[in-house]
Amino acid sequence: MSAPQGWTPYRVGPDLAGLVLFETAGRPQARLLTPDGVLGEPRPLPTGTEGMQVAANLVVAAYERDGARRIAALRLPALEPVWDVAHPVGGYPYYVEDCAPMVCVTDSDRVWVLDPADGAARWQGQVGGSYALAPGVLVSNVNERPRYGVLRDTVTGRVLLRLADWSVIEHDGRSVLLAYVGDDRTWFGAAEPAGSGRPRVLGVGGPTLDRCWADTRGTADAGLVVCQALLGGLDVYRYTR
């Protein structure tokens, strides 16, 4: 490959299905490079496209036409055009993210959730920052309460669970794993995205830097949480569901 380009991974489930190449020499275009090295035919992107992202099995490209900002989408793996809509964000910076099964467009405080079928905004909100936790589950923050998180249904925006003082570690495929740090200890908990009430406490560990990761490959009955220890190194905890 000799032309200037960027690339982004294209996954089907957990598996890498290829790389989407974004070529910038001349008219911008995209093409798919499969894991075994087969290079697909180039597909044109709108003139003025400055970048692209893979989200919800689409290549999503932002561009400007006649002074108006727009978003165009091409469906993978064939890269055929499926929709072209007005960009919902009024100013920069913004980010296009995969929040399966939807497409999320965010700026610093707001999120617009687009339907991958037609690009229509299904809901929007002032969320103080957000990210996809698991398929169908979005984590958003509350600006005036830094440690107060909210789990939302990605498709509808409905609040599933409010997490006062707990921080989200990860989704382990069944439950949302949580942590709370205070008094030189770390409390670990779990919650069901569609549940109600307070999270259930799994156990108590040593102080951490509030940076933990979960082993999402755990068994049906147990899993691992790894935390960065306050005094260096890693603390590994086993939990049972």
| pLDDT attached to residue 2 | 63
Q: What is the mean pLDDT of the chain?
A: 85
| pLDDT attached to residue 45 | 92
Supply the DSSP string of 143-173, one letter for each residue: TTEEEEEEEEETTT--EEEEEET-EEEEE-S
Region of 122 on the Ramachandran plot (φ > 0 left; ψ -120 to 50 alpha; else beta):
alpha
> What one-letter code names the amino acid at 183?
D
| pLDDT attached to residue 57 | 92
**Nearest by Cα to 165 from 136, 199, 131, 194:** 199
| pLDDT attached to residue 14 | 79
User: Cα(34)–Cα(44) distance, rounded to whole angstroms?
Assistant: 19
Please tell me the pTM assigned to this model: 0.82
Report pLDDT digits (tens) over 140-168.
Answer: 875 555 556 788 999 999 988 888 788 88
| pLDDT attached to residue 173 | 79
User: Cα(63)–Cα(30) distance, rounded to whole angstroms?
Assistant: 14
| pLDDT attached to residue 89 | 78
Positions of the chain with pLDDT under 70: 1-4, 90-93, 142-148, 195-197, 210, 216-220
